[in-house]
């Protein structure tokens, strides 16, 4: 039986590309009346809003969106600078679902989930857009500060948390991976699925294992392409062209690594390797060295290729 998500307001923590993409589909596709975005950095918030505007302009320009729908979507947005501020919004605007799309770092995500649990009511659904970190570990942090062991807050807090993994560019990619933590209440999983579907996405479910389904398969593929490059099997162009034209992939693996971010690829490989101790997940030495050099891919202007 299908469940209605029932969210009148959705919050998104982190106004980078992923966070803004999620805000965009929440406002445009799911038509959520209030979309509240949180970023502590005023300059990132400004960049995020400009990116949102550019998506609206492009879609209106291409005739994919009516001007009045774009204006309505813009009017749905609110930007705040802290989770504390989020908790102080009036009942209509205070989000029933929060999607955390902050930096892929365990300490940062634990801090955010603890703060969300402290400042928002216990029935707020908390989703993380992590691409490889243990969702059960993040969910365990969803307990308000000062909650006593064995209290309702302590056991119920983690049960409203789960993983909701979107793909970049969010407005274009059709998939969301749903990752219930060990603690997640099935009703929370059903509502989160319904929200992702309302955003126009096909939803697959993965167990909470390192990398889930997507990155357990994708990252070793990218890593192997880097090993092939460093072993001199072929040039970067030939590796990419082989996969692009031979297998009809939209991007070759090295171009895709640049697009995702080499630091993100390395972080995911390190998680897979650490949590499984399986040598098939050992990060390519070249990948580590490129990150050491500050070559993060497209976002830093240089990775396997150069970007103006």
Q: Return residues touching ligand CAA (CB under 6 A).
A: 17, 55, 58, 62, 131, 167-169, 171-173, 214-215, 250-251, 256, 260, 264
Catalytic residue list contains 214: no
Q: How far is the CB of 161 from ligand CAA (least distance, A)?
A: 19
Alpha helices in the chain (DSSP H): 17-28, 42-61, 67-75, 83-87, 106-119, 135-140, 152-156, 186-198, 214-230, 236-246, 253-260, 262-276, 285-292
CA 162 vs CA 179, 184, 275: distances in Å? 6, 6, 19
16 is in an annotated binding site: yes
Quote the least distance from Cβ 235 to ligand CAA, whole Å. Answer: 20
Q: Where are the beta strands (DSSP E) in 138-209?
A: 161-166, 175-180, 202-205
**Considering beta carbons, is residue 18 or 80 the nearer one to ligand CAA?**
18
Closest distance of CB 291 from ligand CAA, Å: 15
Q: Please list, in sequence order, all residues whose beta carbon lies within 8 angstroms of the beta carbon of residue 219, skipping any fewer than 6 positions away.
A: 211, 265, 268, 269, 272, 281
104 is in an annotated binding site: yes
For this structure, is 34 an active site residue?
no
Structure-token pair, residue 7: 């969210």
Asked whether residue 93 is marked as a ligand-binding residue, the answer is no
Whether 29 has a binding-site annotation, put simply, is no
Cα gap 304→103, rounded to integer Å: 22
Residue 15 is assigned to a ligand binding site: yes
Catalytic site residue from 5, 34, 119, 165: 165
Query: Catalytic residue at 131?
Result: yes
Closer of 96 and 171 to ligand CAA (Cβ) = 171
What are the two backbone dihedrals, phi and then psi, of residue 174, each rounded to the nearest 5 degrees?
Answer: -85, -5
Of 159 and 215, which CB lies nearer to ligand CAA in the complex structure? Answer: 215
Q: How far is the CB of 137 from ligand CAA (least distance, A)?
A: 17
Residue 215 annotated as catalytic: yes
- Report the binding-site residues: 14-19, 39, 104, 109, 131, 168, 299
- Report the binding-site residues for NAD(+): 14-19, 39, 104, 109, 131, 168, 299
Which positions are catalytic? 131, 165, 177, 215
């Amino acid at each position: 039986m299908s469940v209605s998500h029932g969210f009148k307001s959705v919050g998104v923590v982190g106004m980078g590309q992923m966070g803004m993409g999620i805000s965009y589909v929440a406002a445009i596709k799911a038509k959520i009346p209030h979309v509240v975005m949180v970023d502590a950095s005023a300059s990132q918030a400004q960049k995020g809003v400009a990116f949102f505007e550019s998506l609206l302009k492009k879609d209106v320009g291409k005739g994919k969106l009516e001007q009045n729908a774009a204006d309505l979507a813009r009017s749905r947005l609110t930007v705040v600078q802290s989770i504390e501020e989020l908790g102080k919004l009036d009942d209509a605007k205070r989000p029933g679902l929060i999607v955390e799309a902050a930096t892929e770092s365990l300490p940062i995500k634990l801090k955010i989930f603890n703060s969300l649990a402290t400042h928002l009511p216990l029935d707020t659904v908390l989703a993380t857009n992590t691409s490889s970190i243990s969702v059960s570990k993040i969910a365990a942090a969803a307990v308000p500060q000062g909650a006593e062991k064995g209290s309702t807050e302590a056991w119920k807090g983690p049960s409203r948390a789960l993983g909701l993994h979107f793909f970049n560019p969010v407005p274009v990619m059709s998939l969301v991976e749903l990752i219930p933590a060990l603690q997640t209440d099935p009703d929370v999983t059903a509502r989160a699925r319904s929200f992702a579907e309302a955003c126009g996405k096909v939803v697959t479910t993965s167990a909470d294992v390192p990398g889930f389904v997507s990155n357990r398969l994708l990252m070793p593929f990218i890593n192997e392409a880097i090993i092939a490059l460093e072993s001199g099997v072929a040039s970067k162009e030939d590796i990419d062209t082989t996969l692009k034209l031979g297998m009809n992939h939209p991007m070759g693996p090295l171009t895709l690594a640049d697009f995702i971010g080499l630091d993100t690829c390395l972080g995911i490989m390190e998680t897979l390797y650490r949590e499984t101790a399986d040598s098939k997940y050992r990060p390519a030495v070249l990948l580590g060295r490129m990150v050491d050099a500050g070559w993060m891919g497209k976002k830093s202007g240089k990775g396997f290729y150069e970007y103006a």
